[in-house]
Structure 1
Amino acid sequence: MTAIADDYRDRGWTALELHPGDSVLVDSERRTGLDVVLPGPEYEDLESLTEDTTFADVDVFRAEEGGMIYLLIVEQAPTDETAVLVPAYYDTGSGQTALETVRSAGELRLFCRRLNDDYVEFVHDDVAPFLPEAFADAE
């Protein structure tokens, strides 16, 4: 993550690296998608950075190992030359229901939140990069 963030900074972009304490797929009435919990100061930095910024692009780096999916999500606002880097992970076994919901909806929501349930949300219409390879191929 640091190397990718440094690459953005070398090009003159603002790059915010986040360090979630927990990451999980959720499927509930309140939230469906990928939920990451941030420390208070990082959440405040993210909230401030996203207030007047439109994030239009995303790069997703994915690795799979032993039923776990590891992601580095790079939310990009090219007009503002701003990137937010979010590492995340989830267990495919316990996340089956959420995976099915995400795939059938054709939308993945990334919730970057703090413990009091305030959150910043990123919405993605291309779900394949976020899903396990076998799941994405089944579309």
Structure 2
Amino acid sequence: MSDNATGGDPSPVQTTAGWQAVVEDMAATSQEYRERGWTTLELHPGDSVLVDSEFRTGLDVLLPGPEYDELESLLDDCSFTDSEVFRAEREGLVYLLVVEKDPDREVAVFVPAYYDLQSARSTLETIDAAGELRLFCRRLNDDYVEFVHDEPSPFLPDV
């Protein structure tokens, strides 16, 4: 293993200040929900990307198996009918913190995500034209949980 001191390869997004800020915001916001009596689940994706294929179009986040299992078990009892989206843009990346909420049961799932703005342009146009954004929280074997958002603008960059 060698260090790349010349900066030829980009740093993994998870090591950037922007990503660390999203994770810190997730922890703080989740704590605020818990203080109000909500049950929360914080997710920690290993990867995040906008996808546009015949199988899925939307925001795709890859979760560790145990976190995916926790999320999947919440779906047995919860109906996530509301959401909040926090967005920031920095150095060509769009960072998101999506809070999927079941207000009746007071359960919130926190999904941090990001995507590269330049490589996502055509997918963003597809999402905007469709008038919805689908958030896929998946595990490595391609099982996934899907959240559908009828208003995609909170996920999209400022024009």
Q: Given the alignment of the two structures, is residue 104 of structure 1 paired with residue 104 of structure 2, yes or no?
A: no
The amino acid across from 2:36 in the alignment is R
Q: Secondary structure at the match of 2:86?
A: strand
Q: Secondary structure at the match of 2:118?
A: coil
**Structure with higher strand content:** 1
Select 2:41's aligned residue among 16, 25, 32. Answer: 16
Q: Deviations over 1:34-62 (max 9, x none)?
A: 00000000000000012221111111110
Q: Say which one has the larger Rg.
A: 2
Identity %: 68
Q: Deviations over 1:66-98 (max 9, x none)?
A: 211000000111001000000000001111121
Partner of 2:77: 52
The amino acid across from 2:84 in the alignment is D
Instruction: Return the offset for 1:105.
Output: 0.1
Gaps of 5+ in 1: 135-139
The amino acid across from 2:65 in the alignment is G
Q: What does 1:75-114 align with in structure 2 at a 5 Å threshold?
A: 75-114=100-139
RMSD (Å) for aligned C-alpha atoms: 0.6
Q: Which has the higher contact order (CA 8 A, sep 6+)?
A: 1
- State the aligned residue count: 134
The amino acid across from 1:112 in the alignment is C
Scaled by the length of structure 2, what TM-score is found? 0.83
Partner of 1:26: 51
The amino acid across from 2:149 in the alignment is H
Runs of 4+ in 1 over 4 A off after TM superposition: none
CA distance in 2, matches of 1:42, 1:2: 15
The amino acid across from 1:85 in the alignment is F
Partner of 2:151: 126
CA distance in 2, matches of 1:101, 1:121: 18
CA distance in 1, matches of 2:90, 2:132: 24
Scaled by the length of structure 1, what TM-score is found? 0.95
The amino acid across from 1:34 in the alignment is L
Partner of 1:61: 86
Gaps of 5+ in 2: 1-25
